[in-house]
Structure 1
Amino acid sequence: MPSNRHIVHLDLDTFFVSVERLKNNAFNGKPLLIGGSSDRGVVASCSYEARQFGVSSAMPMRMARLLCPDAIVVRGDMEEYSRHSNIVTEIIKSRAPIVEKASIDEHYLDLTGMDKFFGCQKWTHELRDYVIKNTGLPISMGLSVNKTVAKVATGEAKPNGEKNIEQVEVRPFLNPLSIKKIPGVGAKTYVQLRNMGVETIYTLSQIPPDLMHKVLGENGISLWQKANGIDETPVIPFSERKSISTESTFDKDTTNIEYLNQLLTKMVMELAFQLRKECRLTSCVTVKLRYSNFDTETKQLRIPYTALDKTLIDIAKSLFQTLYSRRMLIRLIGVRFSHLVSGFEQIDLFAESIEQYNLCQAMDKIRRRFGEKSITVAGAANFIKE
């Protein structure tokens, strides 16, 4: 990998809020909350005006309203956000040599080698101006030697700004910043590091790697490298997956409805977890049945964007109930999620139920630590194998 890389990070500022303001300029300059409209909902995004009152993403809507009573609450439209995201992506892809779409509002570009022909900073500045001019969306940019420094630079350039950090400037730039600025430092890791007396990136960079590994495992080594401006992660060319699916063919054809519903629950939960791992949502569920005579039937339903287990399980079971009308033996059952959008957080924050949101987060945490089959709902437990 080239030692002198030129990596760009582009981040659409308060993306959902910006799209809503394009649709309705009466929202300009006002505190705006995007998310579930009831008190049981969750804040998916909020404007800078709302953040001044202490509001943040993933906060319960009830708390956000208490902190900022004058805020305007908008339900949100993932399909519209996805459309605007795709417009920005197409603009970037048409100009940049290597593009990675990291989320619905973030892109990484690898411009290594382009500095031989024209300055990377000038080229990126012109690209950013073009995006703003042609979409009306504010976007911030960081340019540096790797993904980590470029992303941190973008954060420091916000709102709607740009920052270029050359190789010799990397350590002076990172050193005084809070460890919160390092990608991958979540709430729990932040508390652990603060309990060790670590507040700035410089202090973190001076801790022996062996000690970081002892305290935080492999993640400790990764954070130590980032604190020292080291990140060899490549920019992976963008490729949008359109659907995910799974199916199961039975050794013996069956009409056992309880068994089929349990298997369907397991399949949906595995796919939903995969969605959340990849920060995706689905808006179309398809159930597939193949009978013993090899006739195959499918039924699908378009739904609001979600990645919630319970919502998707209920829909899949409803489709199965409608589809299974012949009362013949079944040899195969399958589920597909399609019309995917990328870049959402761990869960569908537009959901009205914060309990479902918290439950999925807790179960996902266990799966990531102990394996995908470490936890499930009771109805699917019979399918977990050692």
Structure 2
Amino acid sequence: MSDEQPTVLCLRFCRIGGGQPDSAAYEGLLALLGAFTPVVEAAPPDGALADVGGSLRYFRQDAAGLASVIRVRALALHGVDCAIGAAENPMLARMAARQAAPGTTFVVPAGGAAGFLADRPAAALDGVGTATARTLCGYGLDSVGRIAAAPLATLQRITGVRAGRDLWERANGVDRTKVLPNAAARSIAAERSFPRDELDPEQHRRALLSLTEELGARLRGEGQVCRSLAVTVRYAGRAGYETLTRSRTLPEPTAHSAALTSLAYRIQDSFGLQRARVRGIALRAEGLHDAERASRQLTFDPVDERARRIEAVSDRLRARFGPQAVKPGRLAA
């Protein structure tokens, strides 16, 4: 067995017939991975990273062989199939997992990052969203290979000093993050109740805005980001009070209040309860993990950047003068 080989696995779980595993099955899958390596990082609701560098010699397997053993046990014990990417670092493993179909393993061999990345579109890199990809394509940098070949100074002029260096490193297959062992990501929640059944949609909107502001501030204060939001509405129905819950995943993990509010509003609109007599609204931020390990989509939107700077200042004022020191004008009345 060669000493130079992939040591990071990225797993995407799916039930036979489609769909994500439920929370109980997901926790069982994390425990299953823990039997192979203690270095398992949860990526709810349907993924995980595992550093198996210390496990390959023990199990006398290469990365692909160990991935096959894990897949067989996941199927037998939990009825869940896996698409697995294997590579030398977490970024490449995640990209490899996106190439793998359920029931298969896609391996990026050690030292093979350049060949794997060269022909991939710019948007395939972590942290490169639609706007950034469009800008890069305008300079002829429409593939990862071309980005990797571009001078670092050129990328920094296009995207900024720090973002340019991050982009250049990723395009060259460099990922400085590590697989950090943790438990299944936790969640935080907040709730607003009305003193009586509330018919006014504007009051429903205000309550939801106050919730996203509260959770956003809590997340930022704790150095966390969330992957998804769940909105629960309690309203008067024909047989008494009923509850309705719906969740959606954010485009990227974030603690930015504006992004949380936008998604929460879309979830609320999907309920179709414009005329409902609402007694309470709850919001839950799910899939929490450290903000320092979250990749943020590069952006050229000055409005978004200004909003984030204002948000940072507001957080400092709240920390000094109390949580009610700064709040949106819509909540001031």
Normalised-by-shorter TM-score class? 0.5 to 0.7
- Among 208, 226, 239, the alignment partner of 1:278 is 226
Instruction: Evaluate the alpha carbon distance shift between residue 282 and residue 302 of structure 1 in structure 2; reply closer, same or farther with a 3 A threshold.
Output: farther
CA distance in 2, matches of 1:107, 1:195: 35
Post-superposition offset of 1:215: 1.4
Structure 2 match to 1:221:
165
Q: Does 1:11 align with 2:12?
A: yes
Structure 2 match to 1:237:
181
Structure 2 match to 1:28:
none
Q: Does 1:305 align with 2:280?
A: no
- Structure 2 unaligned segments of length 5 or more: list them: 192-203, 235-241, 249-262, 289-302, 316-325
Q: Give secondary structure in 2 for the equivalent of 1:148.
A: helix
Post-superposition offset of 1:370: 5.1
Q: Does 1:126 align with 2:69?
A: yes
- Give the letter aligned to residue 9 of structure 2: V
Post-superposition offset of 1:281: 2.9
- Among 276, 290, 311, the alignment partner of 1:371 is 311
Instruction: Evaluate the alpha carbon distance shift between residue 103 and residue 213 of structure 1 in structure 2; reply closer, same or farther with a 3 A threshold.
Output: farther
The CA deviation string for residues 12-56 of structure 1, in whole angstroms up to 9 with x for no partner, is 3xx4xx46x36xxxxxxxxxxxxxxxxxxxxxxxxxxxxxxxxxx
CA distance in 2, matches of 1:243, 1:180: 29
The CA deviation string for residues 292-317 of structure 1, in whole angstroms up to 9 with x for no partner, is xxxxxxxxx964133754478x9xx9
**Greater Rg over alpha carbons, structure:** 1
Structure 2 match to 1:184:
127
Post-superposition offset of 1:10: 0.8
CA RMSD, Structure 1 to Structure 2 (Å): 4.4
CA distance in 1, matches of 2:243, 2:26: 21
Q: Does 1:106 align with 2:50?
A: no
TM-score, scaled relative to structure 2: 0.62
Post-superposition offset of 1:216: 1.5
Post-superposition offset of 1:377: 5.5
TM-score, scaled relative to structure 1: 0.55
CA distance in 2, matches of 1:11, 1:230: 22
CA distance in 2, matches of 1:154, 1:337: 31
Post-superposition offset of 1:245: 5.3
- The percent of aligned pairs where both chains have the same amino acid is 19
Count residues with an aligned counterpart: 262
Structure 2 match to 1:152:
95
- Structure 1 unaligned segments of length 5 or more: list them: 23-75, 248-260, 287-300, 321-334, 344-362
- Give the letter aligned to residue 227 of structure 1: A
CA distance in 1, matches of 2:36, 2:156: 41
Instruction: Evaluate the alpha carbon distance shift between residue 263 and residue 187 of structure 1 in structure 2; reply closer, same or farther with a 3 A threshold.
Output: closer
Instruction: Evaluate the alpha carbon distance shift between residue 133 and residue 271 of structure 1 in structure 2; reply closer, same or farther with a 3 A threshold.
Output: farther
Post-superposition offset of 1:172: 2.0
CA distance in 2, matches of 1:156, 1:306: 26
> Given that residues 6 and 86 in structure 2 are in contact (C-alpha distance below 8 angstroms), is that contact kept between their aligned partners in structure 1?
no
- Give the letter aligned to residue 6 of structure 1: T
> Given that residues 141 and 147 in structure 2 are in contact (C-alpha distance below 8 angstroms), is that contact kept between their aligned partners in structure 1?
yes
- Give the letter aligned to residue 213 of structure 1: Q
Post-superposition offset of 1:104: 1.0
Q: Give secondary structure in 2 for the equivalent of 1:138.
A: strand
Structure 2 match to 1:90:
31
CA distance in 2, matches of 1:234, 1:101: 13
